[in-house]
Amino acid sequence: MSDDVAPVSGREARGDLVCFLCARTVGSAQGPDIRHLASISLKVPDPRHVESVRRLRCPYCSGRLLLQAGDDVYVERRSLSDESLRPRRGRPPKIRKAS
């Protein structure tokens, strides 16, 4: 995802990248919508495999990578101000019970 685009709240697709031939899980993918995966974020545990995973190829056998166990989740992103990041001081206020 480019730095100049602010992330928007909404549906997001997440899943594992699994090789079609050798069935190895080589990374995970995360994108804004499962139907419109134009720009996605890839997470690869081994930095030597980044180039092959970027081309959606398995680094071990050069097979195709597929999205497996894909989840469609709702993500809410809010910008945090300095005030919300500062720890609260003192005891939290009591909640009065209605009688």
- Single pTM value for the model: 0.58
Q: What is the pLDDT of residues 21-79, one digit of tens each?
A: 998 999 888 887 656 556 778 888 888 888 888 888 999 998 998 888 777 777 777 77
Q: What is the pLDDT of residues 77-98, one digit of tens each?
A: 777 788 777 777 888 778 887 7
b/e code 14-31 from CB counts within 10 Å (16+ = b): bbbbbbeeeeeebbbbbb
